[in-house]
Amino acid sequence: LVKQTMTASSAMMVAWTSPEERAAALGRLQSAAALAFVVGQGLGGLLSRAVHAAAPPAAAVVLYTLDIAWVSCMLPPMPPAAHRAESGAEASAAATPRRGAFGSLRAAAVDGCVARVIALQATYALVARGLGSMAQLYEQDKYSFSSEQLGVLGTWRGLLGVGLQASVVGSVVRRLGERRALCAAFGVSACAYLAEALLTPRLASLPAAAFYALVALPFRAAAGFVATLGMKSLFSQVVPAESMGTALAALDIVLSVCGVMAPALGGMLLQAVGASLHPAAASCAHLMLLLLTVCLLPAATKGHFARMAEGATCTSQASLEPSAAAAVLKDKAE
């Protein structure tokens, strides 16, 4: 239910926002979700300990009921953009056959840009989730954190997520554009892992654990959130609007499959290189992602996706036949 709620919320946010403001809006949505998860876990533990073990499920029932009433009363059935072009939307919906989730994703992936974005997103999911699944074992092995310190580190990581997504991530993606934001994110992640691998033993004034918690972790978290938001913003701009909901659902399944495979890959990596070389291997993985971004996404990605959001294809207008180019210009003028 929570996964479907987030998928539907992302699809609605895409429908309600323009391409220019979409990255910031999706960043606020992710920040709100991260804050809700942190607060919800705390309230769940408090209710279970102070009231009864059945109190958290009962509170969830009440919250879901309030959510249903809130959505029914406050959200109209269509976004304002759809109201302004209602006749065109109805004609498009009538002419568009209904597909399942994978059918919509497969139909969208016929376009080269969509296929490249999906491939890059799946590769990033394998790397990020593989490293994340082994993070606690790596932290215990290298820094000898206690259970209490791991709990504090988890809280610090959650606070970083809420703060960065609310204040930094959306504006970075909006100002740099998706392609440059992804390149910057993977470059920063590679540098943060490399600094942890090379510089930590030489820091006399700062303990290794403090360097990890106060320097490496915030930079890596910020870069990871920028990459996640950049991927989502790219996907929202290359997939047709009428297929967005089902395509996002299918993409979630693809990423879930990557999430199933990632812990095994992360465990194999940690066992192969050990805790001492784990940051260096992670740095190489993010450099590989940076190279993939440069190779898979064209240099004019931002312009291409802006044209696709306006109804054009991912191909440059200069490559169109003269009659087709004239038709595109005529449609835009109208």
pLDDT of residue 112: 67
* Structural domain includes residue 283: yes
DSSP characters over 233-257: HHHHHHS-GGGHHHHHHHHHHHHHH
* Structural domain includes residue 263: yes
Question: Which residues 6+ apart lie within 8 Å of 232 measured at CB?
Answer: 10, 26
> Which helix (H) or strand (E) element contains residue 117?
helix 112-133
Q: How far is CA 257 from CA 125, 169, 253, in A?
A: 10, 26, 6
* Structural domain includes residue 15: no
pTM for the predicted model, two decimal places:
0.66
* Structural domain includes residue 180: yes
* Structural domain includes residue 232: yes
Q: How far is CA 177 from CA 18, 132, 282, in A?
A: 14, 26, 25
pLDDT of residue 53: 84
Number of domains in the chain: 1
CA dist 178 and 205 (Å) reads: 38
* Structural domain includes residue 156: yes
Q: What's the Rg (C-alpha) of the chain?
A: 22
Mutual angle of helices 244-296 and 217-238, in 10-degree steps: 120
* Structural domain includes residue 162: yes
The parts of the chain modelled with pLDDT lower than 50 are: 82-97, 204, 301-304, 306-330, 332
pLDDT of residue 249: 74
Give the three-class secondary structure for 320: coil
pLDDT of residue 323: 42
pLDDT of residue 177: 84
pLDDT of residue 286: 92
Find tokens 């249903």 and name the residue.
Answer: 68
pLDDT of residue 95: 41
pLDDT of residue 10: 78
Tokens of 275: 């805790």
DSSP characters over 48-88: HHHT-TTHHHHHHHHHHHHHHHHHHHHS-SS-HHHHHTHHH
CATH code (residue 210):
1.20.1250.20
Q: What is the pLDDT of residues 220-252, one digit of tens each?
A: 888 988 898 888 888 877 777 666 777 777 777
* Structural domain includes residue 145: yes
DSSP 300: T
List the domain range (segments joined by +) for residue 142.
100-309
C-beta contacts of 2-6 below 8 A and 24+ residues apart: 3/252, 4/249, 6/33
